Amino acid sequence: MSSDPQYAKYPNLSLAQDIFNLSNPACPQTSQQASLKKLQSAILHHHMAPLYRHLAHPVDGILNTTGEGATSSQPAAAASSKGGVVASNLLSGRKVSQKMILPWDEKLYDSLVEENKKELDALQKEEDDAAEAAGDTEVQAARAKRAEFWARVGDRDKAVAAYEAVLEKTGILGTKIDLILAIIRIGLFFGDKVFVKKQIERAGALVESGGDWDRRNRLKAYKGLHLLTIRSYNLAATLLLDSLSTFTSYELCSYSSLVVYSVLAGSLALKRVDFKAKVVDAPEIKAILGEGEDNIPALSRSGSSGPDAGDEEMKDATATTTPGVASTVVNLTTLGAESGFVPEEEIPMDFSPLSNLVSSLPLPP
């Protein structure tokens, strides 16, 4: 059975981080502006009419705080998810900033809807032609394209329903697991933790029934990141650290992000002896952060550490970042940093806040 992952391109989980940034008043304005630009570009490029309406509609949009139908983001969010398969919890939970709202353009929305209709008509024709002149494999391929279409444009309920329809007609175990992983990412994108938990259990049952090594390891990363979103740090740390040596789930996050999540979870969950053995001295982490004189101070203990490192020192340290690198408030619900499963060149990550945080932890010699 092939271990090549399928259905791993959509949704783009990094967009969920951008939406979170827009709703979070603690996020730096430069990061909000960058997120707004990126989100608008993605909506235009991928014709994301459903997501655009869900976010920006003047009455129902969850980012709307001034429209006639909502006085705050939370009632709009609740209304938009009522009766749906997947709940929408994209926002930070704080009052949405009035300064960085995603503007609503009715003409733009209509044009996006029209593009969606054209693409759906073409997909329906492809399925009809396959049913007449080809076989079940070609019909399934056309249906899978429709599922990926709905995942791409951001219609969570239609995407899940379409993936389920493909899953129902699929007999190959690896493909079934890939389909459920795609469904899990939809839940991660929209922040529905209960839905994600159920789907992870579902995927786990399939993996245990005979899933291959690659999919077993990919599910481990999915589960670890989900546990991080629900603040189950003890369980998350074990899975995330185990994933470092086998990570291939670039549809979830970059490898650098996985390192950050692993270090943070480990710092909260592990005893100091275990933290040094499993994190500080881990070869996978050293490969990213360097070792010896090139290692960040926290992981080589060249920075300030020990019982005397007080709260005030830690506060000052974590507030310090490398000049020229914009800090970002990370939404651990979204976790994504890549647009597809094929790893691309990563944007350089500033590890100095992580270094300063860990440097205040008392570590054994």
pLDDT, mean of residues 234-260: 92
pLDDT, mean of residues 301-319: 36
Most confident of 201-205, 280-284, 294-298, 352-356: 201-205
Question: How many independent structural domains does the chain possess?
Answer: 2
Q: What is the C-alpha separation between 51 and 59, in angstroms, rounded?
A: 14
Mean pLDDT of the chain: 79
Residue 52 has pLDDT above 60, yes or no: yes
Note whether 158 and 202 are same-domain residues.
yes
Residue 171 has pLDDT above 50, yes or no: yes
Largest CA distance in the chain: 75
Which pLDDT belongs to residue 329? 45
Residue 91 binned pLDDT confidence (cut-offs 50, 70, 90) = confident
Note whether 240 and 195 are same-domain residues.
no
Residue 3 binned pLDDT confidence (cut-offs 50, 70, 90) = low
Residue 307 has pLDDT above 90, yes or no: no
What whole-number percentage of the chain has pLDDT above 70?
Answer: 70
Note whether 31 and 140 are same-domain residues.
yes
Which of 2, 288, 359 is closest to 173 using CA atoms?
A: 2
Note whether 88 and 185 are same-domain residues.
yes
Note whether 141 and 197 are same-domain residues.
yes
Note whether 50 and 137 are same-domain residues.
yes
71 part of a folded domain: yes
Most confident of 24-28, 59-63, 140-144, 284-288: 140-144
pTM of the model as a whole: 0.79
Which pLDDT belongs to residue 283? 87
- The tokens of 285 are what? 């982490």
User: Which of 211, 246, 262 is the last residue in one of the domains?
Assistant: 211
120 part of a folded domain: yes
Q: Residue 141: which domain range? A: 13-211
Note whether 72 and 136 are same-domain residues.
yes
Cβ pair 328, 31 in contact under 8 A? yes
pLDDT, mean of residues 29-51: 95
Note whether 316 and 355 are same-domain residues.
yes
pLDDT, mean of residues 271-276: 88
92 part of a folded domain: yes
Q: Residues 280, 282, 283, 284: what is their CA dihedral angle, to the nearest 10 degrees?
A: -100
Which pLDDT belongs to residue 308? 37
Note whether 106 and 167 are same-domain residues.
yes
Residue 147 has pLDDT above 60, yes or no: yes
Q: What is the C-alpha separation between 269 and 101, in angstroms, rounded?
A: 37
365 part of a folded domain: no
Which pLDDT belongs to residue 280? 83
183 part of a folded domain: yes
116 part of a folded domain: yes
How many residues comprise the chain?
365
